[in-house]
Copies of this chain bind each other. A is one copy, B any other.
Amino acid sequence: MTPQLLSLKKEISRKKLDAILISSVANIIYLTNFSYFSHYEREAFLLVLKNKQYILTDGRYAEAIKENTQNFDLIEISSSLTFEKTLKNLAKKHRIKYLGVEENNLTAKEHKKLSRLLNDLSHFTVADLRMIKNPSEISAIEEACRLGDKTFEHVITLINRGVTERQLGFEIEFFIKKHGADISFPPIVAFGKNSAIPHHKSSDKRLTTKDKIVLLDFGAKVNNYCSDMTRTVFFGKPTRKQKRIYETVLEAQQKAIEYLKSLIINHKSIAAKEVDKVARNYIISKNYNTIPHSVGHGIGLEVHEKPIISPKSKDILKAGMVFSIEPGIYIPGFGGVRIEDLVVLENFSPRLLTHSSKDIIQL
């Protein structure tokens, strides 16, 4: 049995549940290592009991499940043996009364149906388990980050007059896929004033010498684990205003990382919202608008997961967590700068997983 499954079973006991129904695809991958299911549609459930666990899916995946998963008994659902019928049977067989479900993943409709089968549904989340990464998870993220750095090195050689945002996005994606990995999300490539849109969708805009700013935000996925990084470079000499913005963002990021270091060294507990505040307040102190997003987010099987490093976060940062630190300044109609790295918290220090240069790059 995997450590993940063991931890989950401990939670079942601790919460006095009879079983847990897992529905989110990321959690199914976390527990089974089986990554074939669509992220868009409901194709499978796991039912985990104290001493047994089932995977419920339809005939399309039966063969692949048999070949690729251990520990789980396969139950093939179909239009005659529906998911509801199967769950009813299993609840009876194993005397399941208290069932934990993922309320932030099940739809309201699914939840309604389930509550007709079982009275005692309660919310259960795997997010807290997933927050602390084990060494093999960290090394998968690290490998994804290495590929991210390589991709950055490659893509900056392609930043030339006339290239479009979409073309660069395409090159990032293909470079990553050619290396046998996947992308963690569609790359964001923003030229000039488009960089003022934090989640800009790459367009057919061509790069001109007037644009100057080139913002690149992308990630690779290796063995299902994601990386995420942002660099902002300049096509031609940055203006004084652009340079000042860049240096402010970089300083904000460094201050947040330094803050993390100082707390770890002093064995102090680190509230995520305090880390957010350090970067955010520095930017505000320089008379820029506040950051229109959180300063960081956890990452792993999903590109955004716990902990969240935001003004209202209740998360406490601990050894084994991997997250981004990504302050930014965005000026509508002018442009923006964001710098993003991934950090793993280790026992005595935070360690950067992305290593691309943060000196001002002028192409």
Contacts and interface: CB of A to CB of B under 8 A. Distances in A.
Interface of A: 35-36, 38-41, 58-64, 78-79, 101, 103-112, 123, 166, 170, 173-174, 177-178, 180, 185, 196-201, 292-293, 302-304, 310-312, 332
A108 B103 CA distance: 5
Contact of A103 (B107, B197, B311): B107
Contact of A174 (B108, B174, B310): B174
Contacts of A174: 174
A326 to B, nearest CB: 12
B112 A185 contact: no
Contacts of A38: 185
A146 B201 CA distance: 25
Contact of A63 (B60, B106, B197): B197
Contacts of A110: 104, 108
Nearest to A59: B292
Contacts of A185: 38, 40
A39 B39 contact: yes
Contact of A201 (B36, B79, B104, B312): B36
A179 B120 CA distance: 52
Contacts of A312: 79
Contacts of A196: 63
Contact of A293 (B58, B64, B310): B58
A166 B170 CA distance: 18
25 contacts: A40-B185, A40-B304, A58-B293, A59-B198, A60-B199, A60-B292, A60-B293, A64-B197, A64-B199, A64-B201, A79-B312, A103-B107, A103-B109, A104-B109, A104-B110, A105-B107, A106-B108, A107-B107, A108-B110, A108-B111, A111-B111, A166-B180, A170-B177, A170-B178, A174-B174
A283 to B, nearest CB: 14
Number of copies: 2
Contacts of A123: 109
Contacts of A41: 304
Nearest to A34: B201
A175 to B, nearest CB: 12
A40 B25 CA distance: 11
B61 A199 contact: yes
A41 B308 CA distance: 14
Contacts of A173: 177
A199 B41 CA distance: 13
Contacts of A112: 103
A139 to B, nearest CB: 21
Nearest to A310: B79
B58 A292 contact: yes
A311 to B, nearest CB: 5
The 5 closest A-B pairs by CB, nearest first: A59-B292, A108-B111, A60-B198, A103-B108, A103-B109
A79 B111 contact: no
Contacts of A310: 79
A273 to B, nearest CB: 10
A35 B293 CA distance: 20
Given A58-B293, A59-B292, A109-B123, 12 more contacts: A35-B201, A39-B39, A39-B40, A60-B292, A61-B199, A63-B332, A64-B197, A103-B109, A104-B108, A104-B109, A106-B107, A108-B108
A71 B180 CA distance: 43
